[in-house]
Structure 1
Amino acid sequence: MDELKQLVDDIGRRSYDAQFGKRRLPEVFDADLWHTLDESGLTRLITEQDAGPRELAVVLAGLARHAAAVPIAETDLLAGWLAAEAGLEVPAGPLTVGIGAGGVARDVPWPTDAAIVLAAREADGLYVGLLHDPEVTAGHNLAGEPRGALEYDTDGLTGLDPAVGDELVRRGAWARCVQIIGAFDAALELTVAHTSERVQFGRALSKFQAVQHSLAAMAGEIEQARAATDLATAAVTDYGFGHARADYAVTVAKVAVGRAVTPVTTIAHQLHGAIGVTIEHQLWSATMRARSWSDEFGSTAGYARRLGRWALQAEDPWDVLISSPTS
């Protein structure tokens, strides 16, 4: 696992350095990075390499640390898996997934750079299919990552159990938690380096007690979020994404990570000052990704309400509080 982490870090760092000064809104798909990852066998770890969530988590977090502009989670964990569930053949290269309802799919990641596998969650069930040359209304999230909207109809799509759609969302929620932790690590590393190097009144910023308290608070929020995400990774590894324990653990992680986004990103920008808000600075890429990803595949508030309902409905709410769901 250490070797995999080092490999991903080296690839991600070289990619970021190559893109330095070239970032723009919306971001452009990094074809060179994708080629390198594909040659290294990292684009389809789960669907083709017989790896598991632990290995994929290393890849997702490592690439997120370096603001990689490629849809790895969408290709491997989401669209590739969903296509296999529906018995669809998908092309080589990047894939993405569109989750729609009522004939419209919104916020589709990388919609013009990847083949789109649609999951239409309609009133009469889940319909899945590979879209060919759909008309996409292009946009982007706060970090500049391409997001798009498209219309569809369900003719010719494959019907699946709605539980597959639930698992798809759970997979996406877990992936975003892992990626946010990677973005958090980048933000903390940059903030520690900046406060150590920046001199104010004859002393490094990191020597001031208020700055030390802020850094400690930032690190504490990150480690709390990391612990919840590690729990979710262990649950999906041991039980699979379709299990109730995985559902519970991913819900907890989505709440913990989502609630950490505001304090972590706020402290990072406060300690960087004006420099941290420019698109050219790596901090901007990290914090804007964290803020954007926290609302994808369900909001923090939505998952918090879900936890609350479980506690109210449980025979013993203590089971919910100590991470011991009954099923």
Structure 2
Amino acid sequence: MNDVVEALVSTVDAVCARYADPEQTWNPRLWDELEKVGVTLLPVPEERGGAGADLATTVEVLLAVGRHAAAVPLAETALLAGWLLADAGADVPSGPLTAALAGSDVTLRQDGDAWRLSGTLPRVPWARHAEGIAVLADGHVAYVVRGGFEVEEGANLAGEPRDTVHLRDAAPAQVLATTATAQAFRERGALGRTALMAGAMETATGLALRYAGERVQFGRPLAKFQAVQQHLAEMAGETLMARVAAQAAAAEGTGLAVAAAKAAVSEAAGTVCRLAHQVHGAIGFTDEHGLRHATTRLWAWRDESGNEAEWGERLGGLALDAGAGLWPLVTGGDA
């Protein structure tokens, strides 16, 4: 991480430390502050309204967002909706955005000079708070603004909005041809969740380390017991692996690195959650303790954008397809 990126991440950390409230399921004040910093459209090209940063910088910022359990759709806006619109040649509007991949029951059709979008989009992150939804359907990006869709509210385990969106002959504000693929959409979504999980794992591990150092049992801190030390060491190892995996996936952007990172970090998240709660004991499960803000998100995020089994299968498919070229695939990251 160079000095510029380090300074940017420090600024985001400071903003999140001041304004983030893990109890909230949507934090408009924090979103406004992050917009002022200029990170909400971080990887979007400058000519389309963004900052023109690379994926590596974006992942570092998402690590900070994950550390603070920030209730904002930064991954959805920066990595998905912003990417879809910019890739299709559209300027990206300000404000919180979200994105969805159209399923088989979603139809996009042209009605004279107008377009119509119909169907249901399940579990769309932050839909009720988004200014618009970018939908990838049939080789097109259809952008539907707030008021053009109906929302049936839902939530993940952490209480974050995961809404069902009903499109009833919606009239998109824009419909543009795109080269973006469903697989690229899934990979970018997985990259975002991987970075957020790596950040949340840092928080869970930090809380466990602090609690083990402060909590005295049988006359000495928990951190002095060998079994607890082993738990903490394993958590630290898994957390470091998650950060490195997210950074490596960002450097590659697609294919093998993303599949490997999401599979490995989703599995590691389960380990870190289990050990963090073992170190804390019963207090870690209470509403009053901050650990739950990290672990409930980790349990939710590990299954979003594909769980470890799905990405493990993808990884195996890439390896089989490579055949004799497996070694160059692994060492060169050419997926």
Calculate the TM-score normalised by the size of structure 2: 0.85
The answer to whether residue 10 in structure 2 is matched with residue 40 in structure 1 is: no
- Looking at structure 2, the residues matched to 100 and 311 of structure 1 have their Cα atoms a distance apart, in angstroms, of 28
Q: Against the structure 1 CA distance between its residues 79 and 127, is the aligned structure 2 distance closer, same or farther, given a 3 Å change threshold? A: closer
Paired AA for residue 143 in structure 2:
G
Q: Against the structure 1 CA distance between its residues 61 and 212, is the aligned structure 2 distance closer, same or farther, given a 3 Å change threshold? A: same
2:142 to 120, 128, 131: 128
1:205 Cα deviation after fit? 0.2
1:6 to 1, 5, 10: 10
- Looking at structure 1, the residues matched to 308 and 328 of structure 2 have their Cα atoms a distance apart, in angstroms, of 18
| Residue of structure 1 in register with 2:256 after alignment | 248
Greater Cα shift, 40-49 or 67-76:
40-49
The answer to whether residue 47 in structure 2 is matched with residue 15 in structure 1 is: no
| Residue of structure 2 in register with 1:141 after alignment | 156
- Show the 5 A alignment for 1:64-213: 64-88=66-90, 91-101=93-103, 102=105, 103-121=119-137, 125-133=139-147, 134-152=149-167, 153=169, 158=175, 160-161=177-178, 163-213=180-230
- SS of structure 2 residue aligned to 1:96: strand
1:128-159 per-position Cα deviation (integer Å, ceiling 9, x unaligned): 22244111110110111111001225776736
- SS of structure 2 residue aligned to 1:93: coil
1:319 to 307, 321, 327: 327
1:299 Cα deviation after fit? 2.0
- SS of structure 2 residue aligned to 1:319: helix
Query: Contact (CA 8 Å) 1:311, 1:320: kept in 2 or not?
Result: no
| Residue of structure 2 in register with 1:305 after alignment | 313
Query: Contact (CA 8 Å) 2:256, 2:334: kept in 1 or not?
Result: no
| Residue of structure 1 in register with 2:109 after alignment | none
Paired AA for residue 253 in structure 1:
A
- Looking at structure 1, the residues matched to 132 and 186 of structure 2 have their Cα atoms a distance apart, in angstroms, of 16
- Looking at structure 1, the residues matched to 329 and 278 of structure 2 have their Cα atoms a distance apart, in angstroms, of 34
- SS of structure 2 residue aligned to 1:44: coil
- SS of structure 2 residue aligned to 1:139: coil
Query: Contact (CA 8 Å) 2:283, 2:289: kept in 1 or not?
Result: yes
Greater Cα shift, 78-87 or 285-294:
78-87
- Looking at structure 1, the residues matched to 93 and 329 of structure 2 have their Cα atoms a distance apart, in angstroms, of 44
Query: Contact (CA 8 Å) 2:100, 2:135: kept in 1 or not?
Result: yes
Q: Against the structure 1 CA distance between its residues 167 and 271, is the aligned structure 2 distance closer, same or farther, given a 3 Å change threshold? A: same
- Looking at structure 1, the residues matched to 242 and 325 of structure 2 have their Cα atoms a distance apart, in angstroms, of 22
Query: Contact (CA 8 Å) 2:88, 2:179: kept in 1 or not?
Result: no
Q: Against the structure 1 CA distance between its residues 320 and 183, is the aligned structure 2 distance closer, same or farther, given a 3 Å change threshold? A: farther
Paired AA for residue 2 in structure 1:
E
- Looking at structure 2, the residues matched to 30 and 163 of structure 1 have their Cα atoms a distance apart, in angstroms, of 30
- SS of structure 2 residue aligned to 1:98: strand
- SS of structure 2 residue aligned to 1:188: helix
- SS of structure 1 residue aligned to 2:30: helix
Query: Contact (CA 8 Å) 1:96, 1:108: kept in 2 or not?
Result: yes
Q: CA RMSD in A?
A: 2.2
- Looking at structure 2, the residues matched to 279 and 81 of structure 1 have their Cα atoms a distance apart, in angstroms, of 37
1:98 Cα deviation after fit? 2.5
- SS of structure 1 residue aligned to 2:159: coil
1:60 to 59, 62, 67: 62
- SS of structure 1 residue aligned to 2:154: strand
- SS of structure 2 residue aligned to 1:315: helix
Q: Against the structure 1 CA distance between its residues 164 and 321, is the aligned structure 2 distance closer, same or farther, given a 3 Å change threshold? A: closer
The answer to whether residue 280 in structure 2 is matched with residue 272 in structure 1 is: yes
1:302 Cα deviation after fit? 0.9
1:46-77 per-position Cα deviation (integer Å, ceiling 9, x unaligned): 22112221221121111111111111111122
| Residue of structure 2 in register with 1:243 after alignment | none
1:325 Cα deviation after fit? 5.0
Q: Give ranges in structure 1 of 5+ residues lacking alignment.
A: 237-245
Matched residue pairs, number?
Answer: 309
2:294 to 286, 295, 301: 286
- SS of structure 2 residue aligned to 1:140: coil
1:107-145 per-position Cα deviation (integer Å, ceiling 9, x unaligned): 111111112323244xx5555222441111101101111
Greater Cα shift, 49-58 or 247-256:
49-58
1:247 Cα deviation after fit? 1.5
Q: Against the structure 1 CA distance between its residues 322 and 98, is the aligned structure 2 distance closer, same or farther, given a 3 Å change threshold? A: closer
- Looking at structure 2, the residues matched to 155 and 67 of structure 1 have their Cα atoms a distance apart, in angstroms, of 35
Paired AA for residue 7 in structure 1:
T
1:200 Cα deviation after fit? 0.2
Percent of aligned positions with the same letter in both sequences? Answer: 40
Calculate the TM-score normalised by the size of structure 1: 0.87
Q: Against the structure 1 CA distance between its residues 28 and 262, is the aligned structure 2 distance closer, same or farther, given a 3 Å change threshold? A: closer
